Chains A and B, each alone.
Chain A
Amino acid sequence: MIGLSEWYDLRDLGNPVHALLQWIDGWGDGSTFHWVAYIVSGLIGAAAIGLFLGVIMLFLIWLERRAVARIQIRRGPNRLGPYGLLQPLADALKLMQKEAIAPRLGDRVVYTLAPLVIFIPTLLVFAVLPFGNKMQVANINVAVLYIVAVGSATPLVVFMAGWSSSNKYALLGSMRAVAMAISYEIPMVLALLAMVLWTGHMDLNGIVHWQQEHHVWLLFLQPLALLIYFISASAELNRTPTDIAEAESEIVAGYHIEYSGMKFGLFYAVEMANALAVSALIATLFLGGWWLYGLDRWVPGYLIFLAKTLLVYNLLILTRGTLPRLRIDQLLAFAWKYLLPLALVNIVVVALEVLLWQQNGLAQEVFFPVCVVVNVALSVALIVGYSRAFDRRKIMAPRRARLVQDPLAYMPQ
């Protein structure tokens, strides 16, 4: 049974699709209907991703609301359907029925386009994610670069929304989003570069395969890169502690303040989908994607992948539920002063380690554990040393109020 890759083997949903495509390819004399297979493969991929995102987004909204409710000692949605599972559906229905109000002074075309366009980068990212060994819509050999490139289009759309709304809050929010994106893109790319250096692959399935071959999650080899990637990627997600682009308490809703009805719903959904994309990327790059130390031979890879993704997503929910927001200058300073140097140091260390490993042909069984120890120790030392160098203890020292028993003895100077 093991190693079965016939079309009826549903441990990898890629199998039936591949069988179907091969069958279509075989029509005629073998190459005439190549284009049909090409189009069909594209359609199946698009439909699969659309369906997957649609379903999981409804689930994620429910999950997030329930989880945050638990953090906040509330119950969360629990009326509609079992455990309130149908609540997002009802919300979506309500949003669709609402009147679409557009600002009179705004740029109508851009205003209408923005919520639709913002979906594109997110959808494109999902196209290269390996849900299973063969479950990938597009296997691009520069997938890491592609994700960075596509992801950096989002701030542009955010700015479209902010600009066309003709609202000062929206403009402030979109300016903030652009500033954030510029700053956090750099440490993020550098963290991803460390992955590429280690594995020598730029396509995501290749990175998963590398982890499978070497029997190790990159999380252990690259704790610092994971930390940097997690922080900088979640910084672009518009969730607390870095939700300065919408900053409920300051600029109300930031760039989507003027959007109502389903247009707002789209922004809301994209936020979720982006968070999901980041969690999926972390699961792929650092947690071995669909591979789980041999368990993937028995359990469908996509289930493993989904489980890991949701695990990371839960981390995002936790940070959202518990942390206050930083100010924009603090966030930008954090990116340039802390994350960027750490990422650079990390790159150097990774390059040295890879050089040592490959030039000397060291045994992986010995070298990897050493690397794990060295990298973990280095990450801790770097973070602690860095915070010491910046006088964190002095700045961050909590105070306590002084207690005065007898105010009448007090005389103003």
Chain B
Amino acid sequence: MTIRTEPFVVNIGPQHPSTHGVFRMRCVLDGETVVDADMVVGYLHRSLEKLAEERTYTQNIPFTDRMDYLSAMSGNLGYVMAVEKLAGIRVPERAQYLRVIMAELQRIANHSMAIGTFINDCGAWQTPLMWMFAEREKILDLFEMTCGARLTCNYMRIGGVAFDIPDEFIPAINSFLADFPRKIDEYEKMLLENEILIARAKGNGVITKEMAINASITGPMLRSTGVPYDIRKVDPYAVYDRFDFAIPVGENGDSYDRFLVRLAELRESHKILVQAVRDLPGGPYKVDVPLAIRPPVGEAYARVESPKGELGFYLVSDGGAAPYRFHVRSPSLINLSLLREMIVGHSVADAIVAFGSIDIVLGEVDR
């Protein structure tokens, strides 16, 4: 006799410990196996793109903090670059270096968080997350030192940065940088060879090169499939072309590779930071730009390599004080688009791990 079974629908999220916010996966389960999955996004939609059309270019900078709130500096950077491109503003050298320093610090902070939550999704009981938090905490202290805010920094300005770094910043960042490689070694020793982690993450949520490129996936997710695509190298912005760093790529495009790429990027970011702090030039940290800047009629697209992937800002100006159109190409949302292919046919446990390895922030998915 066969027992009649039927698939059932489980809503994973919007309130679930591992949906990293308010993401909802509407999964059809057959026992433990996911047979179908729907993504439901929009629970954190704040219509930032529309709101931005009512505010001046400078007033929009805080919005970019609140999109990817785990890497506010990268959001700031992408947006001010777009405005500068639109208005044709040249940014002083020192500001460029400060921007790179902040963006790379932010990348370390974001990847620490991503690795920590990923292993949390694998089932570790908060421990790796807390260890990663310890490092992130130091970076947030550096941010606080510079601009007074820890999470939503609002540090970049059109034409430079808001404040010059204080005197105690350089010693503080140097001591952080001196300490950090040892910490990465520690993480690698603890995490890289953890058999349970390997058993869970290897071969999980596999995406191929073609799938990733077709879905326009970027960031560590694309690099894990073996494509060395990094905006910092292929379309250098700020002063990234002056630094010596490599792009870590994976091979198989599975969760383990994504984790590996992020781990390796910590080291590369550290490399950039050391060079940037060493070469930091003097001079002005911003150029004077009117607060209610009115860029000439036109459009501009600027992109940065945010920790999550290619973060692009598309601005259209009608010559007024507010952008006519403000569009964000948010990597979190686009990286999510392969989720269904990654999890269908696998178990619930695998689905959570695959989802955790994408590293999304719901503020950026929904905007």
Q: Which A residues are within 8 Å of any B CB, using their own CB?
A: 68, 71-74, 168-169, 172, 240-241, 243-244, 247-252, 320-330, 395-396, 398-408, 410, 412
The contact of A324 among B196, B233, B251, by CB within 8 Å, is: B196
Tell me whether B125 and A320 are in contact (CB under 8 A).
yes
Q: A399-B250, A412-B209 are in contact. List 12 more A-B contacts (CB 8 A).
A: A172-B29, A247-B123, A249-B356, A323-B196, A325-B124, A329-B347, A395-B202, A396-B193, A398-B193, A399-B257, A402-B226, A408-B234
Tell me whether A324 and B197 are in contact (CB under 8 A).
yes
Nearest CB of chain B from residue A240's CB, rounded to whole Å: 5
Tell me whether B193 and A327 are in contact (CB under 8 A).
no
The contact of B349 among A71, A240, A244, by CB within 8 Å, is: A244
Which of B10-18, B286-294, B295-303, B322-330 contacts the other chain?
A: B10-18
B198 interfacial by beta-carbon distance below 8 Å? yes
Provide the residues of chain B in CB contact with A244, threshold 8 Å.
Answer: 349
Tell me whether B349 and A247 are in contact (CB under 8 A).
yes
Tell me whether B249 and A324 are in contact (CB under 8 A).
no
Tell me whether B348 and A250 are in contact (CB under 8 A).
yes
B48 interfacial by beta-carbon distance below 8 Å? no
Q: Which B residues are within 8 Å of any A CB, using their own CB?
A: 8, 10, 16-18, 29, 32, 119-127, 130-131, 134, 192-200, 202, 209, 213, 226-230, 233-234, 246-251, 256-257, 260-261, 263-264, 268, 347-350, 352, 356
The contact of B248 among A240, A247, A403, by CB within 8 Å, is: A403
User: When chains A and B are docked, how far (Å) is the Cα of A50 from the Cα of B31?
Assistant: 39
Query: Given A73-B130, A172-B32, A396-B195 in contact, is the A401-B248 Cβ separation under 8 Å?
Result: yes
Q: Can you list the 8 inter-chain pairs with the closest CB atoms, starting with the nearest?
A: A325-B123, A401-B248, A72-B130, A403-B246, A407-B228, A404-B228, A401-B264, A324-B124
User: When chains A and B are docked, how far (Å) is the Cα of A73 from the Cα of B136?
Assistant: 14
User: When chains A and B are docked, how far (Å) is the Cα of A73 from the Cα of B129?
Assistant: 11
B265 (CB) vs chain A CBs: closest residue = A401
User: When chains A and B are docked, how far (Å) is the Cα of A323 from the Cα of B251?
Assistant: 26
The contact of A248 among B17, B213, B251, by CB within 8 Å, is: B17
A-B contact pairs, 7 of them (CB 8 A): A250-B352, A321-B125, A323-B124, A395-B198, A399-B256, A401-B260, A403-B249
Provide the residues of chain A in CB contact with B119, threshold 8 Å.
Answer: 324
Tell me whether A325 and B352 are in contact (CB under 8 A).
no
B119 (CB) vs chain A CBs: closest residue = A324
Query: Given A71-B127, A249-B121, A408-B234 in contact, is the A241-B196 Cβ separation under 8 Å?
Result: yes
User: When chains A and B are docked, how far (Å) is the Cα of A328 from the Cα of B123?
Assistant: 12
Provide the residues of chain B in CB contact with A252, threshold 8 Å.
Answer: 16-17
Provide the residues of chain A in CB contact with B130, threshold 8 Å.
Answer: 72-74
Tell me whether A401 and B134 are in contact (CB under 8 A).
no
Tell me whether A401 and B263 are in contact (CB under 8 A).
yes
A240 (CB) vs chain B CBs: closest residue = B125
Provide the residues of chain B in CB contact with A401, threshold 8 Å.
Answer: 248-250, 257, 260-261, 263-264
A72 (CB) vs chain B CBs: closest residue = B130
B190 (CB) vs chain A CBs: closest residue = A322
Tell me whether A250 and B18 are in contact (CB under 8 A).
yes
Tell me whether B122 and A403 are in contact (CB under 8 A).
no
Tell me whether A172 and B347 are in contact (CB under 8 A).
no
Tell me whether A398 and B246 are in contact (CB under 8 A).
no
User: When chains A and B are docked, how far (Å) is the Cα of A250 from the Cα of B347?
Assistant: 10
Nearest CB of chain A from residue B191's CB, rounded to whole Å: 9
Nearest CB of chain A from residue B218's CB, rounded to whole Å: 13
User: When chains A and B are docked, how far (Å) is the Cα of A405 from the Cα of B123?
Assistant: 35
User: When chains A and B are docked, how far (Å) is the Cα of A72 from the Cα of B261?
Assistant: 24
Provide the residues of chain B in CB contact with A402, threshold 8 Å.
Answer: 226, 248-251
Provide the residues of chain B in CB contact with A400, threshold 8 Å.
Answer: 192, 260, 264
Query: Given A405-B246, A407-B230 in contact, is the A328-B196 Cβ separation under 8 Å?
Result: no
Tell me whether A172 and B348 are in contact (CB under 8 A).
yes
A400 (CB) vs chain B CBs: closest residue = B260
Query: Given A324-B123, A404-B249 in contact, is the A169-B10 Cβ separation under 8 Å?
Result: yes
Nearest CB of chain B from residue A399's CB, rounded to whole Å: 6
